[in-house]
């Protein structure tokens, strides 16, 4: 009888990255499938019956847990809350739990409720775990320091998912990055010597996607796709051949370092292969900050010109930006806004510097006694700094909010989109007008024309229609993404304002109580009692108006406030009763 293994991928909260609010325009549930779990699934022997639940596309039911003999979970740090909820459900039904992935690898010492951990890269240790499990003597921790040949990695099990749920499919070509950025955890996990798959193996995986009938784009998930340029060029030649043979069914996007702009041959090959987007960690226009963060590769060329050079090959540049470096000055916020505008980067992922476990930055700040909390894995939404910054924290957070509210003001966003489309060749970024895209256009027209930013939206698409009609489909795509970015930005600002109100309410209540005690006026206790009740009611209403995702981010702070409220109300009630007892004795 086959053993039943349930593979669970926790929910990822809404972020700029998730483009969650845009997916509904094209009837998709998630951006990407759980490539790690699908790859692990290929390592199971035939005596296992597998089921995969991606909580970003479907709910995890109690019956899924009950029906399984063993549960496997893979998670990133940002999925921590959902991960913990899954563990609680598994514990409820006394199921054996196995966990791996970036979050368990960095935090396994503090994670409760997991029976077995498979840490770091699993190719050389997963078989050992299954063998020990069969013998009835599995260990708690399986940890490999080996950086395996990733040609050993089997073709992912795309048959375990519904490919129609996803906007893009995912493949991996390499692991590791040759650079040495202080804040990066990738080099700690995968090393600084890029390891690549043979082009033949990558093409096999591409064929596996093609056989599913998937119709969309393919994300090559490498943290630096061009870490080994000679091997990448070999691969690109093969991808071009495959694309021609199959009538170019896919476009590709990936992550790369900015030195891509200096290699004309590489740019040509990527363009010919069908790459239409690349994410680049630009981080900051401040040279001093780049130097101190060991991001020296970004100092070797003019970054605005480099971005434009890539764009001119028909490849959109999405950029990663960070504020909060020790060397950041007060003008960094305006400089970031200016850079993003001049470079014409529509999708600018700006975040507060987040200290990830295991990084050089973590080790340095720990030595300097500057760490405050664990990373939440979300440096765009969680505005609680997890280390003591050189710039005053409040000023840093306000500056960050200024950046995102400026760059994602619809007028500024659409201006960057239009500038990019003018620079991109006319035969690039074109989307075939399939029924789903026609539906997306009509939905966009209805939702966005009559929105608060309808004027800027209509001005943008009309301008493209009359000046650059070949890019009209791309313009609609940018508009739909903008819908997500605008929503997320408003949510972040609202959630932070709520967080500020929470803190100020506690300070106000404490000040009022202390004032009564200082003046010795117990008769006013009932006034404070009423004030606290009103404050709590007000904050409850504010919390209920936050988006579901922002409620999740504020769940712990608001929960702490509720506990504080109950404690204060009990304290005031007791004081009020004591005062009445004293008065009764005096009048008795």
Alpha-carbon distance of 532 to 524, in angstroms, equals 13
Closest CA to 526 of 540, 538, 518, 516: 516
For CA atoms 289, 292, 297, 300, the dihedral sign is positive
C-alpha 515, offset from chain centre: 45
Alpha-carbon distance of 350 to 286, in angstroms, equals 15
Token digits for 148? 């395996």
Give the model's pLDDT for residue 426: 79
Q: Which residues of the chain have pLDDT under 70?
A: 429-433, 517, 519-523, 575-588
Residues 136, 34, 51, CA angle at the centre, nearest 5°?
A: 50
Closest CA to 481 of 336, 337, 318, 334: 318
Alpha-carbon distance of 421 to 469, in angstroms, equals 10
Identify the burial level of 378 via C-beta atoms within 10 angstroms of its C-beta, where 0-12 means exposed, 13-18 middle and 19 or more buried.
buried
Angle between helices 410-423 and 472-519 (to 10 degrees): 150
Q: Are 213 and 248 in contact (CB under 8 A)?
A: no
Closest CA to 240 of 263, 214, 279, 206: 206
Closest CA to 502 of 545, 565, 550, 548: 565
Q: Are 36 and 74 in contact (CB under 8 A)?
A: yes
Q: Are 386 and 366 in contact (CB under 8 A)?
A: no
Angle between helices 454-467 and 435-449 (to 10 degrees): 130
Rg for the chain, CA atoms, rounded:
27
The number of beta carbons lying within 10 Å of the beta carbon of residue 480 is: 23
Give the model's pLDDT for residue 575: 67
Q: Are 495 and 381 in contact (CB under 8 A)?
A: yes
Q: Are 350 and 323 in contact (CB under 8 A)?
A: yes
Token digits for 438? 């026609």
Alpha-carbon distance of 433 to 459, in angstroms, equals 22
Q: Are 481 and 19 in contact (CB under 8 A)?
A: yes
Closest CA to 222 of 199, 252, 254: 254
Alpha-carbon distance of 30 to 37, in angstroms, equals 16
Q: Are 93 and 49 in contact (CB under 8 A)?
A: no
Instruction: Check residue 520 and give left, alpha or beta (phi > 0: left; psi -120 to 50: alpha).
Output: left
Q: Are 105 and 189 in contact (CB under 8 A)?
A: yes
Closest CA to 9 of 212, 183, 161: 161
**What are the residues whose beta carbons fall under 8 Å from the beta carbon of 496, sequence distance 6 or more?**
383, 397, 401
Task: Write down the H helix ranges in 408-520.
Answer: 410-423, 435-449, 454-467, 472-519
Torsion angle, CA of 191/264/273/218, rounded to 10 degrees? 40
Question: What phi and psi, each to the nearest 5 degrees, are found at residue 97?
Answer: -120, 130
Token digits for 571? 């304290």
Place of tokens 């409720």: 113
Q: Are 33 and 162 in contact (CB under 8 A)?
A: no
* Cα→Cα distances 192→124, 174, 536, 549, 575, Å: 19, 11, 52, 36, 63
Strand order in the sheet with 70-74: 48-54, 3-9, 70-74, 96-100, 116-119, 141-143
Angle between helices 410-423 and 332-343 (to 10 degrees): 40
Give the model's pLDDT for residue 586: 47
């Amino acid at each position: 009888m086959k053993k039943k293994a349930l593979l669970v991928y926790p929910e990822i909260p809404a972020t700029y990255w998730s483009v969650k609010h845009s997916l509904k325009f094209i009837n998709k549930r998630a951006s990407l499938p759980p490539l790690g779990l699908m790859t692990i699934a290929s390592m199971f022997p035939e005596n296992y019956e597998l089921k995969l639940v991606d909580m970003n596309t479907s709910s995890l039911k109690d019956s899924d847990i009950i029906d399984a003999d063993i549960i496997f979970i893979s998670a990133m740090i940002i999925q921590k809350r959902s991960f913990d909820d899954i563990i609680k459900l598994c514990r409820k039904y006394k199921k054996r739990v196995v966990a791996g992935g970036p979050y368990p690898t960095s935090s396994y010492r503090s994670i409760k409720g997991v029976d077995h951990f498979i840490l770091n890269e699993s190719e050389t240790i997963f078989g050992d775990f299954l063998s020990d499990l069969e013998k009835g003597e599995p260990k708690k921790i399986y940890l490999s320091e080996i950086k395996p040949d990733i040609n050993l990695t089997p073709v992912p099990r795309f048959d375990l998912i519904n490919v129609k749920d996803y906007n893009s499919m995912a493949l991996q070509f390499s692991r590791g990055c040759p650079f040495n950025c202080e804040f990066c955890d990738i080099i700690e996990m995968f090393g600084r010597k890029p390891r690549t798959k043979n082009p033949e193996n990558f093409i096999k995986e591409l064929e596996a996607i093609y056989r599913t009938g998937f119709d969309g784009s393919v994300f090559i998930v490498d943290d630096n796709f061009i870490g080994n340029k000679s091997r990448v060029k070999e691969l690109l030649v093969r991808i071009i051949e495959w694309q021609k043979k199959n009538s170019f069914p896919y476009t590709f996007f990936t992550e790369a370092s900015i030195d891509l702009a200096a290699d004309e041959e590489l740019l040509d090959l990527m363009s010919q292969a069908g790459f239409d987007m690349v994410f680049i960690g630009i981080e900051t226009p401040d040279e001093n900050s780049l130097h101190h963060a060991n991001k020296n590769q970004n100092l070797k060329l003019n970054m605005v010109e480099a971005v434009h050079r890539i764009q001119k090959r028909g490849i959109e540049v999405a950029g990663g930006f960070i504020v909060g470096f020790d060397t950041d000055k007060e003008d960094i916020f305006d400089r970031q806004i200016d850079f993003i505008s001049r470079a014409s980067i529509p999708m600018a992922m700006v975040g507060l510097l987040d200290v990830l476990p295991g990084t050089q930055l973590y080790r340095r700040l720990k030595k300097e006694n500057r760490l405050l909390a664990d990373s939440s894995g979300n440096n765009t939404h969680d505005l609680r700094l997890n280390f003591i910054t050189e710039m005053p924290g409040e000023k840093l957070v306000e500056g960050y909010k200024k950046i995102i509210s400026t760059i994602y003001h619809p007028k500024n966003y659409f201006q960057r989109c239009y500038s990019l489309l003018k620079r991109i060749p006319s035969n690039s970024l074109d989307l075939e007008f399939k029924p789903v895209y026609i539906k997306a256009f009509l939905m966009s027209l209805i939702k966005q024309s009559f929105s608060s930013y309808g004027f800027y939206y209509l001005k943008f698409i009309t301008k493209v229609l009359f000046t650059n009609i070949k890019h009209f489909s791309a313009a609609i795509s940018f508009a739909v993404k903008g819908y997500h970015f605008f929503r997320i930005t408003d949510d972040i600002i609202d959630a932070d304002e709520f967080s500020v109100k929470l803190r100020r309410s506690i300070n106000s209540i404490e000040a009022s109580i202390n004032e009564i005690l200082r003046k010795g006026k117990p008769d006013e206790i009932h006034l404070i009692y009423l004030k606290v009740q009103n404050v709590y009611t007000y904050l409850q209403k504010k919390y209920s108006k936050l988006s579901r995702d922002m409620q999740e981010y504020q769940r712990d702070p608001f929960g702490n406030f509720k506990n504080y409220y109950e404690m204060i109300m009990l304290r005031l009630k007791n004081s009020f009763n004591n005062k009445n007892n004293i008065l009764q004795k005096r009048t008795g």
